[in-house]
Amino acid sequence: MSPLGLRWVFFALRKTVIRTVVDQMLSGAAGYLTKRALAYVCEKRNLALADDLHERLIEADLLLPPYPEVPAALARLAARFDLYMLSWSRQAPGAAIQEGERHHGQ
């Protein structure tokens, strides 16, 4: 296969993987994992959470700030690689970026 053909195959594969991950996130995979983790901790600690508190904790998980070293690490990666944003948000990408900036001061 020609170099151009290989690049096209790699590009198509990368888009497929990204689309699959995004589809899983939007279909609730992230929420499912967070809910299962919270249920596990509550079970192990013998805690009973009211439904409203349970949902507030799940929602709060989506707004956790990044670790302090993340912006510098992303800058170093961006100098060498193309970066892509994957978001748990159901908003349009531009709105998700603005929301993240609003919450995290970036």
pLDDT above 70: residue 100: no
Residue-wise pLDDT for 23-74, tens only, equals 665 556 556 777 888 889 999 999 998 988 988 888 787 777 788 898 899 8
Mean pLDDT on 81-87: 74
Res 76: pLDDT: 93
Res 80: pLDDT: 94
Contacts of 9 (CB under 8 A, 6+ apart): 1
The domain spans of the chain are: 65-106
Contacts of 1 (CB under 8 A, 6+ apart): 9
- What is the pTM assigned to this prediction? 0.43
